[in-house]
Amino acid sequence: MRTLCWRRVALLSALLAGAAAGASPGLGLLAPVTPPPENWEAREFLRDTIFAPIHDAAARGRLMIPQSTGAATVSFQPDAQSGALFLVFANPQGKGYPLDGAGTFIIKRSLKDGGFVQAKVFVQDGPGSYIRLFPKGDRTVMDIYLFGQPFQTGIALPLAFDRLLTAPFSRIMDASSSSVDWGLVLPPLPGAADERISGMVKALRARLPGLRDMDDGAMDKDGRMVFIATGAQAGKGGFNCSGFAKWVVDGLYAPLTGSTTDIEFLKSRTSMKAHAWSARYEEELDPYFGLDWSRGLARSIALARTGVMPADEDIDVRDDDRVPYIRDVGYPVPQLQYLLYFLARRNPGVLYIGSVNAPSEQASSEGTPTLRQHHHLVVLFPYFDAQGVFRVVVMERNVETSLDSLNRRYGKEFVHLVHVDTDGEFILPKID
């Protein structure tokens, strides 16, 4: 029995590696994936505890349960809270046994009557990526969440809930293979494109401490530090958020052309949407500056590489498959991680410039359409690290922040994305 189960895991891994490319139209060739670490042996070992009367199950102490050769030791911990008993089977990671580590299997029972409520299995590291299993008669219903967002819900499995409590994760995958694209749910093995993004992040981190901050500051096409609005030289100068995003892209652009991007080209108001009511505000407030600047950066490097001027739709991220896109507005900031995960799966080795935007208070009045102000730029680096963990590095205005930080500051706003392929040399311009 044990040998058969492990062979099933290996077989599913091979099938996922070979079949993922054709499983999701529009997502391109997906990298091979691997299931989360198994701990079915530990759950089988404690079968009597899992199905014991509730008070007996709650009285079971913590255990470290060795598995067969080559499999990791599993930590078992019962935890009673909020009217329920949680039976936690956690896999090792580093020096600990994280509750939200890939493969952690948590069984929830009611303290009132001992009935099974659900089981939760983390499919990737982190609190937001998991499946939930619910008993429904002689079958099971499954929901899948990725990065806090519902990926697929209400999936019927032709297996009884209690049978899955001690089964390998591979059995869940097998039972749902016709309705779930596990090649998307599970993390891929990292590739050369991920390593390229990781290398760019490392190079940027080394330079961040030496950057200077300055309102309206950027580097012009001749490498001088200037004010964006006037082009006047700014002495030692520094970067604002727009200037910093430009400097990052110049690390790809300059090796191609021998110069940095042209500020005047980036300032072109290609995104003006003037109406009779809004023309004055667009002139006075320049609300689309961040959108124009981000598109200008993506357009500049695409033009340098191909000799063809791309249209907005060629450089914008207009991905309605997972998160609905709003033209010239983009996506809700809280859904960035979820969106970037699928973008990184489809097109590894791509960075994104985000233009954060919100309704403009100055130009909004009763009875008129809402004018949005694109007021801040961020640079986003999504990739899978050497362990296959999905990372999103956020850099903005000379510092590294995080998606959590963006959510705290702009959680009710939107961010418009343009994509920049990172193929080629990356050499950050020197700053005198």
Residue 431 included in any domain: no
How many domains are contained in the chain?
A: 2
Asked whether residue 253 falls in the same domain as residue 135, the answer is: no
Q: Which residue has the higher pLDDT, 24 or 189?
A: 189
Asked whether residue 160 falls in the same domain as residue 279, the answer is: no
Asked whether residue 126 falls in the same domain as residue 239, the answer is: no
Residue 36 included in any domain: yes
Asked whether residue 69 falls in the same domain as residue 115, the answer is: yes
The tens digit of pLDDT for each residue in 187-231 reads: 988 899 999 999 999 999 999 999 999 999 999 999 999 999 999
Residue 428 included in any domain: no
Residues 6+ apart with CB under 8 A from 48: none
Residue at a domain's end among 143, 164, 185: 185
- What average pLDDT does this structure show over 254-259? 97
Asked whether residue 97 falls in the same domain as residue 216, the answer is: no
Burial 145-168 (b: 16+ CB within 10 A, else e): bbbebebbeebebebebeebbbbb
Question: Looking at the DSSP assignment, which residues form a beta bridge with residue 421?
Answer: 350
Q: How far apart are CA 332 and CA 390, in angstroms?
A: 20
Look at residue 14 and tell me whether its pLDDT is greater than 60.
no
Q: How far apart are CA 281 and CA 191, in angstroms?
A: 47
The tens digit of pLDDT for each residue in 58-76 reads: 999 999 999 986 778 999 9
Residue 426 included in any domain: no
Residue 432 included in any domain: no
Residue 430 included in any domain: no
Residue at a domain's end among 185, 217, 250: 185
The tens digit of pLDDT for each residue in 130-169 reads: 999 999 999 999 999 999 999 999 999 999 999 999 999 9
Residue 427 included in any domain: no
Asked whether residue 168 falls in the same domain as residue 241, the answer is: no
Look at residue 56 and tell me whether its pLDDT is greater than 90.
yes
Asked whether residue 327 falls in the same domain as residue 233, the answer is: yes
Asked whether residue 348 falls in the same domain as residue 395, the answer is: yes
Residue 203 included in any domain: yes
Q: How far apart are CA 394 and CA 241, in angstroms?
A: 12
Structure tokens at 32: 């091979």
Asked whether residue 164 falls in the same domain as residue 229, the answer is: no
Residue at a domain's end among 159, 185, 211: 185
Residue 175 structural domain:
2-185
pTM: 0.87
Asked whether residue 222 falls in the same domain as residue 259, the answer is: yes
Asked whether residue 285 falls in the same domain as residue 137, the answer is: no
